[in-house]
Chain A
């Protein structure tokens, strides 16, 4: 790590927490955009997994309409899981994570910045791609907006929850499977809320309540998950 990078993380004496938050966010985005090919990987993974379902189950449009939301959500979950693997990984390996832990600013905001940048580079593109995949899965037109809104609310929750699991396992050599075992069961409520919302719009029912619950979930996750994530980082990095 170069000196300037260190400076970005550590900051000079006396910068505010907000500035440190912005610096961490900016630094993480810069690092992410430096490896452009890796940036595409979660997106392509999402695309590939979704396209396996019609082949594996049936190309029948009626069946696809029925399962479309579930397929999109499960694929988004898997894509987020795989991309999360690198949330703290490279920082742990090059030692910048330790610097982050040493910084005088609240670790809560630092982890929040890292999670936000992770969501911006891997979650948001997935949401933007979802209408295309929805079309390929014969999702009914009236369900598009609900699907986009729920994914927009749900994918950050996946990143937030997942960050706890990643922080707990960051020091392990091979941890792909154990990470999946920790994160996937925890994501069930989001999966349920997301599919229910789209299902209810397809049945012609009001959807506001579902979206409100997802918003509440996001609020709770955003306030508590970075705390747990920060505590887990302190445990993993001695």
Chain B
């Protein structure tokens, strides 16, 4: 078990392994993404309340569901960085952070587009999901900018690890406090419940496919980002130089 764990700490081992996995992951992602997007945007039957707008939801739900995973991943990677001082964990965390910010932004964008049709507004503070996603986006940005501000990569790794752990706890607290705020501040309006009307199999099956496609996409992007990071940081090691010479 521990030997397996330590293998993950070796950049070379990760580079070789991910090189072998990536073609399969990319192929799987291509299949799921094509099927999911085509099904979602062209063949999902119109909802009796929402009409064709519900097709946006298939994409939105998949992206939103995935974007909730980023802070926990970063917190776990951060813990590994702080406890075992594993460089690989930090490289993964760096790749995850920027991807997480993109996913949060896309979640907000697709949600707004759907909301503009269904709720008649692009932004609605009374919906706690919008508000807490916005603050998750802010916190991810703060992790990214802290990393870019710190020059020393060792310090940056540990500082970002700590901030990710604190941020992960904070996102949960923010989520609950925003919900609490909405239930007490302004009575929750009917719009919060309106996404519950689409739940037949013709809706959730493409959603499931999209969710799998998104997770594959995240895996592929994180692996590619991490490989890129490995090459940059390990540029002085022999195996990277051999790799470059081979072309």
Contact = CB atoms under 8 A, between A and B. Distances in A.
B31 interface: no
A193 B162 contact: no
B83 to A, nearest CB: 12
Given A193-B177, A235-B155, A182 B163 contact: yes
B150 A172 contact: yes
Interface stretch (A55-63, A85-93, A184-192): A184-192
Interface stretch (B103-111, B141-149, B232-240): B141-149
Contacts, number: 70
Contacts of B138: 181, 184-185
B185 A181 contact: no
Interface in B155-171: 155, 158-159, 162-163, 165-167, 170
B40 interface: no
B42 interface: no
How many residues of B sit at the interface, in one of the four size bands?
Answer: 20 to 34
Contacts of A182: 142, 146, 163
A168 B160 CA distance: 9
The prevalent SS among residues of B at the interface is helix
A196 B181 contact: yes
A184 B141 CA distance: 12
Interface residues of A, number: 25
B177 A192 contact: yes
Given A185-B139, A196-B184, A171 B155 contact: yes
Counting from the closest, the 10 A-B pairs by CB-CB distance are A189-B177, A185-B138, A181-B142, A235-B158, A192-B181, A182-B142, A192-B177, A168-B159, A189-B173, A185-B135
